Structure 1
Amino acid sequence: METEHNIRLTSAEMSYLWTTYQADTMSICMVNHFLQHIDDMEIKRVATHALDISQQHVEIIRQIFTDEAIQIPQAFGDQDVNLKAKRLFSDDFYLQYIKHMSKGGLATFSRALPNIYRQDILSFFSKCMTSTMELNNEVTQLLLEKGIAVRPPYIPSPKGVDFVQKQSFMLEGLGNGRALTGIEISDLYSNIQTNQLGVALATGFSQVVESNKVRKYILRGKDIALKHIKVFSDYLSYNSLPVPTSLAQGITESKESPFSDKLIMYHFSLMMYSGIGNYGVAISESQKSDLAIDYSRLLTETLKYAEDGVNIMIANKWLEKPPTASNRKDLAKD
């Protein structure tokens, strides 16, 4: 029987370790810069906790890859962050940023865990999930204490059991009577918040990037995010529900870049694919046909935007190739 030590990493195990390493090395650069400027000691404590989690992840994955004779990714490091650069965002924004990043981590680890079989890797991702849950709880509590938590809207509690009477419950479009379900509201609210984070980051990053091509790409992304916010907000407004507030007030006027253009492009790529996943989930949970159609339309636009970003990263040799299957056609050549 094959021992645990000799069990090879599966494609899922290797790939989730690889992508986690990329994301956490980026996070280390981001949060290390945040910590140079945070004045609020409570927010500094949360940011330090976030940094410690990412550093632990990176150290463990590096050791696993070394033991398995797998090439450690270049990812991100000291060359991608300028710790002496001026503050680009406010303390409150840093807290909101960590909240969004912990949310993204929970989504990633929840996808990874069901596909992991080797016990040491399963243990690692279980601990990743637990530590990220703890961070999410900590940052959520602090957002509540500071009065800056952006909660989804309230809806009336059901007073009895009710059943859908007509198929039009799922087919009705905007303005045709049927109110949004709680899940639809939650998805709309969450996707507005994610796009608002993208708008704020795009605004800040566009002030500091060196490449004009990257700047134009980022500003195009900002316009797309603002359009998506408008589409989603119209659904909430029509149902007399509040729309999440902008995060733009948390941006300084600094024009000194804390991060490399490579890191900034990777960050946008990460947000794009996270958004694509969020839209996919929202489509599966939307029972209004017009809402599902809008998500599908905006998803297509996001995919095209993400593809253009990949082309910029390839042209600049910023995109590391992830673990892939063998190309059997090439291997079969003389």
Structure 2
Amino acid sequence: MPEKPAITSSELGVLWLTYQEKTMILRMLEYFIEKADDDKALKIMTDLYKDIDLYVGKIKIIFEDEGAAIPVAFTSQDVNKDVPKLYDNGFDIMFVRLLKEISMGLHTLNINMAYREDIVMLFKDLTAITQGAYNSCTQYLIEKGLLARSPYVSMPKTVEFVKEKNYLAGMNPLTKLGNKRTLNTIEVAYIYHGIEANVSGLQMITGFAQCANSPEVKKFFNKGAEISKSVVKEMSEVFLEDGIQIPTTSGGNATRSTVAPFSDKLMMYCTSMFCSFSMGGNAVGTAFSLRNDLVAKMGVFTKDIFEFAHEGAKIMIKNGWMEEPPQMAERKDIIGK
């Protein structure tokens, strides 16, 4: 075996995807760092920028060593740091926290598709960086009163087992009226997380809609905002039925600015990534929900988000914004020649 074997197709794919994501985050951090008005937030974002920039460079070196084309991804052409603030009151750290949540999931998947030791270590290091930044953002937001905790609950004193099939149907076996049973803590966790993520996503996409240059893209973002509102509304109603506190925040508002700090291409890619994250979250939430009505709701949300993401992909292709991942060899064409 050679000391360092060539990278596999899986490794090339996840490195390519990581390069896209990280260069997007760098461009967004450049803008948020320029507009930061809090020293602690500035340090969190500056430290993260340095770490990500280092590993983007490492991925680029791997591509060069392997003779692979360097992706275009996102460059200085995709950010304008000199425009007015698009978001205020802690949105920068709220947004970075959500990005790091997505990154944690991606790095976990990517490390499972890597074989070469240096690439495994690269994703292991990125995971540690991401976890550290996520925690820093969480503690900052709690300290500033911008992040609500999920509801507290009385601690169980005994162990119980499910005795009625109605538990899965979402019905309360102790009543004859077919009332829905109370949510369990696992269901609360995923619903609460879904509401929290969609509130941040709604704030993000509202800002995007205000400043998008293309009327078609602006209309697309407005549609995304309506989907987020619908998810927040329906999931909040599930909580209210059981008298459970709904996550709220006083921060992260879009300003009145209509000047874009980011290219339409970057904002579309960011929205696409959030859609993928949302569909993945709904899939996990569905797997761990034991009330059929919740499974049905999440299924509808997933369908709506998938159709929205598909519409976004068509807009990106139409405008030449969707960079094509490296392809496997076209064997039929080669044989035909």
| TM-score tier after normalising by the smaller chain length | over 0.9
With normalisation by structure 2, the TM-score equals 0.94
Which residue does the alignment assign to 2:273? 270
Which residue does the alignment assign to 1:50? 48
Of 280, 283, 286, the residue aligned with 1:280 is 283
3-state SS of the aligned residue for 1:257?
A: coil
Residues 173, 289 of structure 1: 8 Å contact kept:
no
Which residue does the alignment assign to 1:176? 179
What is the deviation of 1:249?
A: 5.4
* Deviations 1:190-247 (CA, angstroms, capped at 9, x unpaired): 1111211221111111111110000000000101111111121111111111111256
Which residue does the alignment assign to 1:293? 296
For 1:278, give the aligned amino acid. Answer: G
1-structure distance, mates of 2:222, 2:249? 17
* Deviations 1:123-182 (CA, angstroms, capped at 9, x unpaired): 000000011111112112212222222221112211011111111111125973311121
Of 79, 86, 89, the residue aligned with 1:88 is 86
Deviates more, 1:30-39 or 1:169-178: 169-178
For 2:298, give the aligned amino acid. Answer: Y
Residues 200, 247 of structure 1: 8 Å contact kept:
no
Which residue does the alignment assign to 1:138? 136
Residues 188, 232 of structure 1: 8 Å contact kept:
yes
For 2:106, give the aligned amino acid. Answer: T
Residues 189, 243 of structure 1: 8 Å contact kept:
yes
With normalisation by structure 1, the TM-score equals 0.95
Matches within 5 A, 1:31-70: 31-70=29-68
Which residue does the alignment assign to 1:219? 222
3-state SS of the aligned residue for 2:90?
A: helix
Please list every run of 5 or more consecutive structure 2 residues that lacks an aligned counterpart in the other structure.
173-177
Residues 224, 308 of structure 2: 8 Å contact kept:
yes
Residues 30, 81 of structure 1: 8 Å contact kept:
yes
2-structure distance, mates of 1:306, 1:173? 34
Which residue does the alignment assign to 1:305? 308
Matches within 5 A, 1:238-277: 238-245=241-248, 250-277=253-280
2-structure distance, mates of 1:190, 1:48? 27
Which residue does the alignment assign to 1:71? 69
1-structure distance, mates of 2:83, 2:288? 43
1-structure distance, mates of 2:146, 2:251? 14
Distance 1:246 1:332, change over 3 A: farther
Over the aligned positions, Cα root-mean-square deviation in angstroms equals 1.6
Please list every run of 5 or more consecutive structure 1 residues that lacks an aligned counterpart in the other structure.
none
Which residue does the alignment assign to 1:201? 204
* Deviations 1:304-330 (CA, angstroms, capped at 9, x unpaired): 110100000000000001123333333
For 1:150, give the aligned amino acid. Answer: A
What is the deviation of 1:91?
A: 4.4
Of 107, 110, 113, the residue aligned with 1:112 is 110
Distance 1:91 1:172, change over 3 A: closer
Distance 1:137 1:181, change over 3 A: same
Which residue does the alignment assign to 1:158? 156
Distance 1:173 1:81, change over 3 A: farther
1-structure distance, mates of 2:52, 2:3? 26
Residue correspondences, number = 332
